[in-house]
């Protein structure tokens, strides 16, 4: 996907707008990785709170046994560069309320708010967006999760080199093409996906002007691509 933004210096953001990215499991639940190596008990509780919120909004329930079937059945609708389905499913107002329930510790370990510039608008538009905190503990955790999933292994490398999160369309493509590597019953994977989709929703809705500019740019690209398709008739 074309990089439409130029990230600048991260800055702290009020608790109301906190957002985080990571993977986890609920307390007392078995896991291949010990989350306490990376997170405190309260942080692990935050991760589960986020995932339950996402599933409630996106799937209409919080039954963890139905998470995988919900994601799988939604993949065709998620294959959309304008993210129409995602925009419709997740309430930004409710998501902001979710942020107020997340601890400072969790946010500061995962996230920052960056100054960014939307490069393809005229004039260029400067704004703030959620971004990776570049915390080495999180990188280590993602690398550990990537040992059993090639996409997540590559994801960790990009996160370390580029310092930014993958587009959810890339994730959706991997879920379709390499479904055997995605154990959607694994709570760690569920939390990873929940955070990814909530992150994208945040990027789309935090600044309404950015959302409008992205839609306009996507439509322009679509029109150009149609004009370049050869007419064999």
Instruction: State the pLDDT at residue 96.
Output: 92
User: In this predicted structure, what is the pLDDT of residue 128?
Assistant: 86
In 3D space, the residue among 36, 10, 196 whose CA is nearest the CA of residue 111 turns out to be 10
> pLDDT tier at 113 (50, 70, 90 boundaries)?
confident
Distance CA 104, CA 89 (A): 27
The better pLDDT of the pair 66, 82 is held by 66
More confident residue, 220 or 231: 220
Q: Mean of the per-residue pLDDT values for the chain?
A: 80
Share of the chain above pLDDT 70, in %: 80
Burial readout 78-110 (b: 16 or more C-beta within 10 A, e: otherwise) = beebebeebbebbeeeebbebbeebbeebbebb
Binned at pLDDT 50, 70 and 90, residue 30 comes out as very low
> First and final CA of the chain: distance in angstroms?
31
Sign for the CA dihedral angle at 155, 222, 194, 43 comes to positive
pLDDT band at 111 (very low <50, low <70, confident <90, very high): confident
- What pLDDT score does 152 carry? 93
Token pair listed for 200? 């994208």
Reported confidence tier of residue 119, pLDDT bands at 50, 70, 90: low
Q: Which residues contact 60 (CB under 8 A, 6 or more apart)?
A: none
Please check the confidence at residue 20 and state whether its pLDDT lies above 90: no
* Residue-level pLDDT at 14: 39
Mean pLDDT, residues 128-157: 87
pLDDT at res. 120: 64
- pLDDT attached to residue 31: 45
- For the stretch 169-217, pLDDT in tens is 899 999 999 999 999 999 988 988 988 898 888 888 988 887 777 777 7
Taking residues 85-112, report their average pLDDT: 89
Selected residue with higher pLDDT from 218 and 88: 88
- The percent of residues in the chain predicted with pLDDT above 90, rounded, is 36
* Statement: residue 25 has pLDDT above 50: no
Q: What is the mean pLDDT of residues 39-63?
A: 95
pLDDT at 13 over 90: no
């Amino acid at each position: 996907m074309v990089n439409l933004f130029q990230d600048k210096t991260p800055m702290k953001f009020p608790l109301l707008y906190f957002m985080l990215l990571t993977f986890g499991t609920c307390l007392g639940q078995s896991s291949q990785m010990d989350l306490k190596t990376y997170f405190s008990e309260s942080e692990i509780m935050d991760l589960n709170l986020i995932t339950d919120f996402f599933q409630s909004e996106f799937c209409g329930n919080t039954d963890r046994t139905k998470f995988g079937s919900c994601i799988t059945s939604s993949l065709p609708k998620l294959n959309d560069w304008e993210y129409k389905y995602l925009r419709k499913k997740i309430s930004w107002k409710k998501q902001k309320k979710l942020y107020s329930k997340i601890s400072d510790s969790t946010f500061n370990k995962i996230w920052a708010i960056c100054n960014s510039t939307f490069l393809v608008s005229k004039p260029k538009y400067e704004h703030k967006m959620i971004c990776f905190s570049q915390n080495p503990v999180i990188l280590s955790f993602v690398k550990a999760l990537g040992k059993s999933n090639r996409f997540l292994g590559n994801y960790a490398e990009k996160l370390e080199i580029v310092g930014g999160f993958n587009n959810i369309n890339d994730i959706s493509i991997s879920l379709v093409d390499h479904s055997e590597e995605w154990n959607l019953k694994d709570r760690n994977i569920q939390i990873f996906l929940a955070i990814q989709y909530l992150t994208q929703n945040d990027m789309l809705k935090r600044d309404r002007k950015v959302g409008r500019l992205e839609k306009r740019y996507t439509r322009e690209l679509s029109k150009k691509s149609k004009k370049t398709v050869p007419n064999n008739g």
